[in-house]
Structure 1
Amino acid sequence: MLIWLALILLGSTAQSQTVTEYVEEHTDHAQELMRTYEVPASVILAVAIHESAAGKSKVARHLNNHFGIKGANCNSEINSSYRDFETADQSYDNFVEVLQNKSSFSKLFEECDQYDYPAWAKGIQRGGYASSRTWAKQVIAIIDKYELYQYDNRPDDYVEPVKAAAPVSVRKKHSHSYRTKRHHSSAKLYTVKKGDNLNKIAESHGTSSTSLMRKNGLKKSALKPGQKIRIK
């Protein structure tokens, strides 16, 4: 039993090390693309990891295709509907070109904050990049697990956009509808003023900075004047 558990843990560690090595190999080029086109390096790397099994898939090994892009290829070693590239870097370049040139993706360059990797992942899924409904969640999970956001060169004072709350489904029962309306009416937003900080706002509203960060999905306590945060 102990030997079996040790083998599982060893396999998990080896897989993690493989992903780490893959990131080290491709981060420079992903960041170069980020600086040129303002697509988060974390998203580029995570999509490549997801689609190529961190470079271990047959398509990645034989065709240098790390993003699951379909097309003609000249490779005789495998029978595949995926296009081939001379180098992995060319596959990375092509991924960004697809985002730029396809109308369902190109709007993301205007709609998405260049540091907001969840918005990019969800937008790419909505654009039809993958059929799986959980594709974006899986890409975001890869970014979080391996802390790929550290390669996005976020400013120290960057504040993540506050995500809109999911709409509450209203049932036919009147009692539930009443509770839903009362819940919405109790929501309170505060507009950040110059000189404010999270601790000051928390104290004036009888709560804690930790609670405010959790309610607003903030990872950093830095605030900007004009920003709206949820108090209740």
Structure 2
Amino acid sequence: MTNAKPRAIACWQIIGCFLIAPIFLMSCSAHRRAVSKAPGIRLISNNEASRNNDIIKKERKDAIAAFVPYTVASYIDRFKTIAIKEMNLYGIPASITLAQGLFESGFGNGDLAKIANNHFGIKCTSDWKGRSYYRDDDQVNDCFRVYDNPEDSYRDHSEFLKRKRYAPLFELDKNDYKGWAYGLKQAGYATNPKYPDLLIGIIEKYHLDQYDRPEGQIQKIKREDRVLAQINQNIGKAVKDSLIQSTPSAKLYTIKTGDTLYNVSRRFGLTVDELKALNNMSDNIIKVGQTLIIAK
């Protein structure tokens, strides 16, 4: 009698792995993130990619050697807390985050998860400053983000979704996992037409919606206002970065100690308002090292 419960749990875990395995095999062959190589991400040769990946593997040699494979149950137990935390911060249903993590990472046992701590298959973008890991995906040697720990991957997943095309999703209730599943597909998160059904299937099979929480109307409004303001700020930064990247260096100026917006504008024959308009600025705050456009 004393061994009945452990045996039951073990059987459930084994059955769960077999049930979910076909879904993850489908994800490897059919799922494709609709984020291809971003502008500013250079192509890399096979030799460069191999050397880079060897360095990453060497740095994480001990962690990889000590890695204990997850079951579906242990993966959920390991990451449910941070999924709930992200839900409370941004309104992304914890069930959606967990389902995507399970789906994208092969419940934590895929190479990207083991080697790069990347549980969502998020690729490098032009503003990514961290380390990179290369593997073939949409293109040869696609660049994927490397994280210090899986929790950083979960946090970056939330940050990744704070983009213009996903903005309408943050107006949904934070326990509306079906709305989020279909909304992600509609916004272009994945090209697989069955992606919403795959996520919903995982959520309902493993009862992940038990971690979702409703919110009051006032809470919802405050969260929406906060998150949408952050998304608008990200959009403004992206526009500014794009302008700077496409502007010849002769029309750029780097802020030095002692500079103010006023004296920079006078130096280049502009008004403060003209300088702000050129740089898509909403205030007069500048920082040492910041790049400004000083001519059209």
* TM-score, normalisation: structure 1: 0.57
CA distance in structure 2 between the aligned counterparts of 1:76 and 1:154, rounded to whole angstroms: 39
- Which is further off, 146-155 or 32-41? 146-155
Q: Identity of aligned pairs, percent?
A: 34
**Equivalent residue in structure 2 for 1:92, among 125, 146, 154:** 154
Q: Structure 1 residue runs of 4+, over 2 Å off?
A: 9-17, 72-81
CA 1:130–1:13 in structure 2 vs 1: closer, same or farther (change >3 Å)? closer
Which residue of structure 2 aligns with residue 130 of structure 1?
190
**Equivalent residue in structure 2 for 1:105, among 161, 166, 171:** 166
Structure 1 residue 68: deviation in Å? 1.1
Structure 1 residue 154: deviation in Å? 4.1
Q: How many residues align?
A: 145
Q: Is 1:117 equivalent to 2:170 in the alignment? A: no
Residues 133 and 143, structure 2, Cα contact 8 Å, conserved in 1? no
CA 1:12–1:74 in structure 2 vs 1: closer, same or farther (change >3 Å)? same
CA distance in structure 1 between the aligned counterparts of 2:134 and 2:120, rounded to whole angstroms: 20
Which residue of structure 1 aligns with residue 106 of structure 2?
53
Which residue of structure 2 aligns with residue 67 of structure 1?
120
Structure 1 residue 153: deviation in Å? 2.6
Residues 62 and 77, structure 1, Cα contact 8 Å, conserved in 2? no
**Equivalent residue in structure 1 for 2:199, among 139, 146, 154:** 139
Structure 1 residue 12: deviation in Å? 3.1
Q: Is 1:19 equivalent to 2:95 in the alignment? A: no
Which residue of structure 2 aligns with residue 167 of structure 1?
none
SS of the counterpart of 1:82?
strand
Runs (5+) with no aligned partner, structure 2: 1-11, 21-69, 216-296
CA 1:114–1:13 in structure 2 vs 1: closer, same or farther (change >3 Å)? closer
Residues 95 and 203, structure 2, Cα contact 8 Å, conserved in 1? yes
CA 1:10–1:64 in structure 2 vs 1: closer, same or farther (change >3 Å)? closer
Structure 1 residue 14: deviation in Å? 4.7
CA distance in structure 1 between the aligned counterparts of 2:86 and 2:178, rounded to whole angstroms: 18
CA distance in structure 2 between the aligned counterparts of 1:10 and 1:90, rounded to whole angstroms: 27
Deviations 1:118-169 (A, max 9, x none): 00011111111111000111011000000000001348xxxxxxxxxxxxxx
Deviations 1:175-217 (A, max 9, x none): xxxxxxxxxxxxxxxxxxxxxxxxxxxxxxxxxxxxxxxxxxx
Structure 1 residue 84: deviation in Å? 0.9
CA 1:29–1:132 in structure 2 vs 1: closer, same or farther (change >3 Å)? same
CA 1:109–1:55 in structure 2 vs 1: closer, same or farther (change >3 Å)? same
Residues 18 and 54, structure 1, Cα contact 8 Å, conserved in 2? yes
Structure 1 residue 11: deviation in Å? 4.9
CA distance in structure 1 between the aligned counterparts of 2:73 and 2:154, rounded to whole angstroms: 18
* TM-score, normalisation: structure 2: 0.45
CA distance in structure 2 between the aligned counterparts of 1:95 and 1:77, rounded to whole angstroms: 19
CA distance in structure 2 between the aligned counterparts of 1:39 and 1:77, rounded to whole angstroms: 28
Deviations 1:54-76 (A, max 9, x none): 11111111111111111174458
CA distance in structure 1 between the aligned counterparts of 2:147 and 2:207, rounded to whole angstroms: 28
CA distance in structure 2 between the aligned counterparts of 1:10 and 1:23, rounded to whole angstroms: 12
CA distance in structure 2 between the aligned counterparts of 1:107 and 1:94, rounded to whole angstroms: 19
Greater RCO (Cα-Cα under 8 Å, separation 6 or more): 2
CA 1:75–1:108 in structure 2 vs 1: closer, same or farther (change >3 Å)? closer
CA 1:117–1:55 in structure 2 vs 1: closer, same or farther (change >3 Å)? same
CA 1:19–1:106 in structure 2 vs 1: closer, same or farther (change >3 Å)? same
CA distance in structure 1 between the aligned counterparts of 2:17 and 2:156, rounded to whole angstroms: 30
CA distance in structure 2 between the aligned counterparts of 1:10 and 1:29, rounded to whole angstroms: 22
